[in-house]
Structure 1
Amino acid sequence: MSQNEGRGTPEQSGQPEPAAPTPIPPAGPPADPPATAPPAGPYPGPGPYPNPGPYPAAHHGAHQWGGGWLPPLPPRPGVIPLRPLGLGDVFGGAFSTMGRYWKQLIGFFLAVQFATLLVVVALAAIGMAITWSHLDPVFDPGYGQDPPREDLVPVLATFIPLGVIAVGVALVGFSLTSAAMPVLVQEGVLGRPVTFGTLFRRAWARTASVLGVTVLTGLLAAIPLAAFFLIGIPLSEAAEADGAGTDGSANFVTLLPLLLLLVFFPFAVWIWIRYGLATAAAVCEEVGPVTAMRRSAKLVRGSWWRIFGISLLIGLAALVMAYIIQIVFTLIGVMVMFPALALTGPDADVTAGVVILFTLYALFSVIGSALGQLIFPTLSQLASALLYVDQRIRREDLISGLLAANTPGPRP
């Protein structure tokens, strides 16, 4: 009998085989799903906490110099390792996602911004066309005179509804862009490619839910502001009308903005963190705005300060990067414009070269501003989506679901 035959199979020798990870419904459709596979859908919802078992290569760990074995490295199919994330993992994952999908990001951002700007300009043109004959008396009534009522009312009646529509269009554009970030993270974690068409379809399908999250969160954060207008202003007017003392009422009116800041700002930050993962939940789990906000509150509970610290650091870093990019492009535009400044003067003629140089300056300024506006919200929203994944890994064993989603199905 040979040496290998003497050892026998693992069952015969009493050595148990390593357990396979417990499958969870995948985040998206596999390449060749088996006949009994569950229907494809979003990230799996919360459930029990099964033991995923050791990683497939756990019994082949690397040998240390001092003896013993190193634990196996966690799998990394995409932009992050499949384990609980730290600050460096979230920061690096956000940048890796931007680097992996930079074409889709820039194209999507420019398309949404251009469409939003086009609609707003069209609304402004419609309003001006309707009230053209009333604009001059309203905006140039004469020194010391009020605009005539017969001209002011049509202008307000036209531009107020159009302004509300423009704000709604801007919110839809913001929500569409926000919905795209969790889609990129969802695919980036698994290392899968995303086309522009797929990104737009999936983001547009969840825009209504993300819009609901944005509006509800804003309304909750505005509660102290509404209380100021409903309570603070009447109290200040009553204090001014009271004859007990003008100095006391003046001090009260002066302190009102400070009191508003002390109450409004901490409450708004608390709301921002508590429901900061709702956008990712609305997109990845395909739920409504209220359910997404409840999921965010549940995932954040007990980790508020950690999520606040990571979000604050990444937000500050993104803000500094956006500012530096704008400054660099503005300086390039100024250096390009220097020859035009030397050629211009009181009696100098405007030449084609001067026009081109000034146009280049404006172009560099616009590019810098656009890149700055892209960097800041993109990094912040990608970080929020990664924090959502991190909290699900820590609390709901999302690793098993991600591994199952990244495993191709059996061939027919």
Structure 2
Amino acid sequence: MTQDAGWGGGAQGGGPPGGYGPYGGGGPPYGGGTPPPYGGQPPYGGSPPPYGSGPPPDWGGWSRPRGPKPGVIPLSPLTLGEILSGAFQTLGRHWQQVLGIAVAVYGTALLVSVGAVAVAYAAVGDRLSAVVDTPDDSTPAWADLRPLVIAFVCLWIVVTAAMLLATSMMQACCPVIVQEAVLGRPVRVGPTLLRALSRVAAVAGTVFLSGLIALVPVLLFIAGVVSTIVTVIALGAWDPAGWLIPLGFLGALILTPLAIWLWVQFSLAPAVVVVESRGPVDALRRSAELVRGSWWRICGISLLAFVIASVAGLVLQQLLNVLGMFPSAFGFGSEEFRHEPTTSEIFITASGYLIVVLVSQLVSQIFSTTFPQLVLNLLYIDQRIRTEDLAPALISAASTAPTAPAAPPGGP
């Protein structure tokens, strides 16, 4: 069986065992084999890195030569156009696998959400009927409303947790997809899901920690202002709301750049977790090391990727939501709805519209989650090429890896 060249932690010392594939933390993908041959150092006798941080070589007035391109990007330092093109090509070449993985992940989350709704309805359905059937000239009893409020809160927690886990799973899948796409290897749904599943807990922890750290300055300032307001009012000294509340918003606004800076510092951590098999805290440190010296570039490209994904996702969502603007699609144009609709008829119509909304949100969520992550993973590879001379290891891995089948004529 062909062995792949490994590339783990690069010049920083490599990640712990457990990764696999051409740039995992543990060498060959299927066990056994020799250790990674490069270890982040030049493989050809100690010559200086061609893409390192030293002064650029003189190419005689010509631009720097590009590396080979076995997959979606050339194996050399990437430009903005190559990063965005690589992300779009990954989606174009492997859209079936990406869509299949996204449908499996978000479909599972949707089934969990629907199951939670069914359980909640079975538990408090009679209370809901009592509230709905309350006469217009009276208010529902609190004894009927309280179970509905509790059920809604529990339902919100379950649905939010399911969607957060689904998003973390997609963030764990994207590095695996990019890894194969960069080397021109076929992307298979089963192995991708299995590998991502083994790292999803660490990815979720990384995302939680990075978000918490980024928001801590703002949250602490707001908490301090609120505590001051409550304390002063309780002491009865004076009414501070006139100037402390605007001061709180101003302080949060001033601290927002710090939160953005921290977010960019940790933006490559999910890729580190999957590719190098590192834990959440170690991945945050590693991401900060890779971002050092390229903060503005990574921030700009990441922001552009999120804008592109948001606009495209919004357009897709609105196109699908148009279906919900036609009442005849769910029966309001038929003869039986010419009279005042009953509760069951309203429920059927609302259910149909809700299905359209959920599908449109799912499609929008798939693209808005996947595309920025593909860009961030390509930025991770680009930073390692620039700072750790990863290109020779990638070239060697691509030359020994099985290639993906050629695209059909006229396809992506």
TM-score of the superposed pair, with normalisation by structure 2: 0.72
Per-residue deviation, 1:406: 1.3
Q: CA 1:308–1:44 in structure 2 vs 1: closer, same or farther (change >3 Å)?
A: farther
Are residue 269 (structure 1) and residue 260 (structure 2) matched?
Answer: yes
Letter matched to residue 260 of structure 1: A
Distance 1:213 1:239 in 2: 38
Distance 2:355 2:116 in 1: 25
SS in 2 for 1:198: helix
Are residue 317 (structure 1) and residue 308 (structure 2) matched?
Answer: yes
Report if aligned partners of 1:337, 1:361 keep a CA contact under 8 Å in 2. no
Per-residue deviation, 1:71: 6.5
Report if aligned partners of 1:336, 1:360 keep a CA contact under 8 Å in 2. no
Per-residue deviation, 1:69: 8.7
Are residue 186 (structure 1) and residue 182 (structure 2) matched?
Answer: no
CA deviations over 1:234-255 (Å, ceiling 9, x no partner): 2112344566654x53232344
Distance 1:323 1:307 in 2: 24
Report if aligned partners of 1:45, 1:285 keep a CA contact under 8 Å in 2. no
Letter matched to residue 383 of structure 1: V
Report if aligned partners of 2:109, 2:163 keep a CA contact under 8 Å in 1. yes
Report if aligned partners of 2:272, 2:283 keep a CA contact under 8 Å in 1. yes
Q: CA 1:332–1:133 in structure 2 vs 1: closer, same or farther (change >3 Å)?
A: closer
User: Equivalent residue for 2:245?
Assistant: 253
Are residue 373 (structure 1) and residue 365 (structure 2) matched?
Answer: yes
- Equivalences for 1:147-158 in 2 at 5 Å? 147-148=142-143, 152=146
Distance 1:329 1:342 in 2: 20
Q: CA 1:336–1:164 in structure 2 vs 1: closer, same or farther (change >3 Å)?
A: closer
User: Equivalent residue for 2:317?
Assistant: 326
Are residue 205 (structure 1) and residue 201 (structure 2) matched?
Answer: no
Report if aligned partners of 2:321, 2:356 keep a CA contact under 8 Å in 1. yes
Letter matched to residue 294 of structure 1: R
User: Equivalent residue for 2:344?
Assistant: none
CA deviations over 1:350-379 (Å, ceiling 9, x no partner): 9xxxxxx99998877655443322221111
Q: CA 1:349–1:74 in structure 2 vs 1: closer, same or farther (change >3 Å)?
A: same
Gaps of 5+ in 1: 1-22, 55-66, 351-356
Aligned pairs, how many?
362
Per-residue deviation, 1:391: 0.3
SS in 2 for 1:406: helix
SS in 1 for 2:400: coil
Distance 2:168 2:130 in 1: 38
SS in 1 for 2:142: coil
Alignment RMSD (CA, Å): 4.4
SS in 1 for 2:399: coil
Report if aligned partners of 2:327, 2:333 keep a CA contact under 8 Å in 1. no
Q: CA 1:102–1:336 in structure 2 vs 1: closer, same or farther (change >3 Å)?
A: farther
Distance 1:279 1:68 in 2: 39
Greater radius of gyration (CA): 1
Report if aligned partners of 2:170, 2:369 keep a CA contact under 8 Å in 1. no
Letter matched to residue 91 of structure 1: L
SS in 2 for 1:276: coil
Per-residue deviation, 1:403: 1.1
User: Equivalent residue for 2:391?
Assistant: 399
Distance 2:145 2:337 in 1: 41
Per-residue deviation, 1:345: 10
Report if aligned partners of 2:106, 2:362 keep a CA contact under 8 Å in 1. no
Report if aligned partners of 1:137, 1:147 keep a CA contact under 8 Å in 2. no
1:38 pairs with one of 31, 34, 39: 34
Are residue 383 (structure 1) and residue 375 (structure 2) matched?
Answer: yes
Gaps of 5+ in 2: 8-19, 51-59, 342-348, 402-412
Per-residue deviation, 1:119: 1.4
- Equivalences for 1:43-58 in 2 at 5 Å? 46=40, 50-51=46-47
Are residue 232 (structure 1) and residue 225 (structure 2) matched?
Answer: yes
Q: CA 1:359–1:188 in structure 2 vs 1: closer, same or farther (change >3 Å)?
A: same
Distance 1:127 1:164 in 2: 12
Letter matched to residue 187 of structure 2: V
User: Equivalent residue for 1:3?
Assistant: none
Report if aligned partners of 2:131, 2:140 keep a CA contact under 8 Å in 1. no
Are residue 25 (structure 1) and residue 6 (structure 2) matched?
Answer: yes
CA deviations over 1:292-320 (Å, ceiling 9, x no partner): 11110100111111100111112112211
Letter matched to residue 396 of structure 1: E
User: Equivalent residue for 2:408?
Assistant: none
Letter matched to residue 393 of structure 1: I
Report if aligned partners of 2:167, 2:369 keep a CA contact under 8 Å in 1. no
Report if aligned partners of 2:222, 2:249 keep a CA contact under 8 Å in 1. no
Report if aligned partners of 1:278, 1:293 keep a CA contact under 8 Å in 2. yes
User: Equivalent residue for 2:407?
Assistant: none
User: Equivalent residue for 2:166?
Assistant: 173
User: Equivalent residue for 1:307?
Assistant: 298
Moved more, 251-260 or 186-195: 251-260
User: Equivalent residue for 1:83?
Assistant: 76
User: Equivalent residue for 1:298?
Assistant: 289
Report if aligned partners of 2:222, 2:252 keep a CA contact under 8 Å in 1. no
Q: CA 1:29–1:249 in structure 2 vs 1: closer, same or farther (change >3 Å)?
A: closer
Q: CA 1:179–1:129 in structure 2 vs 1: closer, same or farther (change >3 Å)?
A: same
CA deviations over 1:243-275 (Å, ceiling 9, x no partner): 6654x5323234423432332x32331222111
Per-residue deviation, 1:171: 2.4
TM-score of the superposed pair, with normalisation by structure 1: 0.72
Distance 1:48 1:407 in 2: 17
User: Equivalent residue for 1:60?
Assistant: none
